[in-house]
Structure 1
């Protein structure tokens, strides 16, 4: 059948409901996924969904597609994406799909997919698209059609986290779920861990009436910062729309970005796993590598993308990995997938040993840095532009140019990064340096390099 190829992204499937992402399309994707699973000897799959209004209909269509392929579906209802991952491990299916639009606007939805214990990404997602377009998959005979059952894993998941994480003392926390599905789980989880919880926007509402459920952007943390000022809460936690990412705010209102959160988590994990690798993506602070070494670990920079990092963690056996976007992956004591609620619980476990959690977080190494900057391009031009930079750009004074994911030029006093987004037609840029003057110099080097390839480009710095 004819499905808009634009919905097949690098790490997931995502589109506008009833326009590019229809029930018919999702049923066809379910048939394709089920056929791939069956070819690997897999006959059961988990299906869950976030709090979006389109979730029930799309999850139903997906389940029908799986069943058409002869795969039985275990419907676990409205859950965070990490609970879908958890279910694939706990139920032994290795296979499951979260129907989620993550942090996208309400009119979007999508699919995050696992088959045989591996997240689908890159070529595997494009292979699905091609196979559907070519009509390679056919439903099984009616007698072989998969069954459908329902299972509520809420208590099992909460018990698993509470059984693992122990706080040294009760804490007072503010939690902002942005009306995403994390609101159905986070308040109870943190109360069970011994916290006094102040709730912000924890009612699940797929229209997201208060603010966008994306803690990667400072404007979405303003309500949490205000709550910390006006209450006696010690720390603030914010979750994205499907609960696989976490944002952190201190009592003083400082935003502790995920690469600095990872420092604290790495020091803790390395205290029990000396010499272990810690994985982080190319957008993270240059302070991280030195910190990991100081604490007895081996830093490993990798490509951006939750599926890519997950695969690298599995390949290397690393106990911990993290991304600048807020995906944190624990293999130590956990399963190796990204879970914002679990990562927040592990962070509180460490912070509960201190009288002033904010001071601990604010003392972590920091440098003048830019937020994520974006240069809009035509579709596909972001990739060709960055390839041209790799080939032609000469960054004077750089000690190393890393090209595993875009171009990251390392200097003695900072770094600059330009990489093509895998989800939207933009070049993503980030800069960090020891001083504002060094930051301006590095930005100027990237400005010259980009303008040499794309004269007239309107740069966001």
Structure 2
């Protein structure tokens, strides 16, 4: 079978429905996953989907492919991605596929995949492509059943998370699949819920379901200003990421959220390791040490963070993009709904959640900046920079994932995106002057190694 190789990304499979990602492709991927599962002793896969219009046909084709490889399939219907991860534990399969386009536009869809307890990434995803192209797949006749895990998922969280007092919260689901469960979850936890855009609609008529972008939080900020909710929570299109807004309208970015989670988790896990990605604030190093933990900087990417979490046994990890991974009291997968519940558990113990959140250490920083480059050029450019770029005055240069250059008064980052042909940049500093100076250093290096590059945007 001839495939469009561009859909096989670093952390998932993703493409435009009926163009690069068809039912035929989904069926073949299902059979390849079943073949991989069979080699690892797997007999059963969980399948779920988000609220996109293309979800039913792609999920059905995927299930057919899995069954054609001899795998039994449990279809959980329309769910948030973490509910598929939860179902792999609940049914003890360790294997599942979520059909989701996450925060991509409506014409996209994709597959997030887990086999025998491991989230597929990188070479494993390319391995599926080769398997399909070579036709090297097993065949069999698996069974199919439907099962709703909603109640078990709700009971598991409500049984674990206890609020010290009732709270009023505003939640914005951006018409993504978390809308089908989030209002009920937070009501059961003891909250009065003000629900925004919780009707699941694959056209996303109100705003894009991506809380990482400030423009998608405008309606939530407005609701907090007008109403009497204490805090705002926003979820992405498939519910594995969390956005947080205070009563005063401040956005608490995920690396600062992680500080609050780290202080809580380390109170029960003294000396524990807390993992965060290269895009995150440098304030996490001192904060985690101050609370008795060990800070670990790691590569960006939810699959890579999960693998590191498993390897180290760390009780907590987080990414600047909004993925938070609790091993403390939870399973170690990224779950925006559970992270929101854990946040409310902490904030229910204080009189003023806004004050608690806004007093977390902060620095001047830029959002994620992107530099477009030709397809395939980003990783080559970064490799050249790592080999010979000079940063006078730097206190430390980390080449774990791109170049993260530390100075006494801030840091700069440039790395290759694993999902699109761009260079990703981010800067943080103690003053505007320092921020401008560090950005200037990176602009100089960028011009030296890629003279035709456009300005970051």
Q: TM-score range by the shorter chain?
A: over 0.9
Distance 1:406 1:189 in 2: 39
Deviations, residues 349-397 of structure 1 (Å, cap 9, x unaligned)? 0000111101100000000000000000100111111111111211111
Alignment of 1:275-290 (within 5 A): 275-290=271-286
* Corresponding position of 1:240: 236
* Corresponding position of 1:61: 61
* Corresponding position of 1:11: 11
Which residue of 181, 187, 192 corresponds with 2:183? 187
Query: What is the TM-score with the length of structure 1 in the denominator?
Result: 0.99
* Corresponding position of 1:117: 117
Distance 2:138 2:187 in 1: 48
Structure 1: 5+ residue stretches without partners: none
1:414 correspondence with 2:396: no
Three-state SS of the structure 2 residue aligned to 1:429 is strand
* Corresponding position of 1:316: 312
Three-state SS of the structure 2 residue aligned to 1:149 is strand
* Corresponding position of 1:219: 215
Three-state SS of the structure 2 residue aligned to 1:136 is coil
Which residue of 364, 367, 373 corresponds with 1:371? 367
1:273 correspondence with 2:303: no
Distance 2:43 2:137 in 1: 16
* Corresponding position of 1:133: 133
Distance 1:167 1:292 in 2: 24
- Contact 2:13–2:111 under 8 Å retained in 1: yes
Three-state SS of the structure 2 residue aligned to 1:157 is helix
Distance 2:351 2:148 in 1: 38
* Corresponding position of 1:230: 226
* Corresponding position of 2:71: 71
* Corresponding position of 2:197: 201
* Corresponding position of 2:443: 447
Distance 1:394 1:69 in 2: 52
Deviations, residues 190-222 of structure 1 (Å, cap 9, x unaligned)? 000010100100000001000000000000000
1:172 correspondence with 2:168: yes
Distance 1:420 1:376 in 2: 10
Aligned-residue offset at 1:138? 4.3
Distance 1:289 1:187 in 2: 35
Distance 2:249 2:377 in 1: 38
Distance 1:309 1:327 in 2: 9
Distance 2:199 2:344 in 1: 23
Three-state SS of the structure 1 residue aligned to 2:364 is coil
* Corresponding position of 2:145: 149
- Contact 2:372–2:453 under 8 Å retained in 1: no
Query: What is the TM-score with the length of structure 2 in the denominator?
Result: 0.99
> Bigger CA drift: 336-345 or 131-140?
131-140
* Corresponding position of 1:398: 394
Which residue of 414, 438, 458 corresponds with 2:454? 458
* Corresponding position of 1:97: 97
Three-state SS of the structure 1 residue aligned to 2:365 is coil
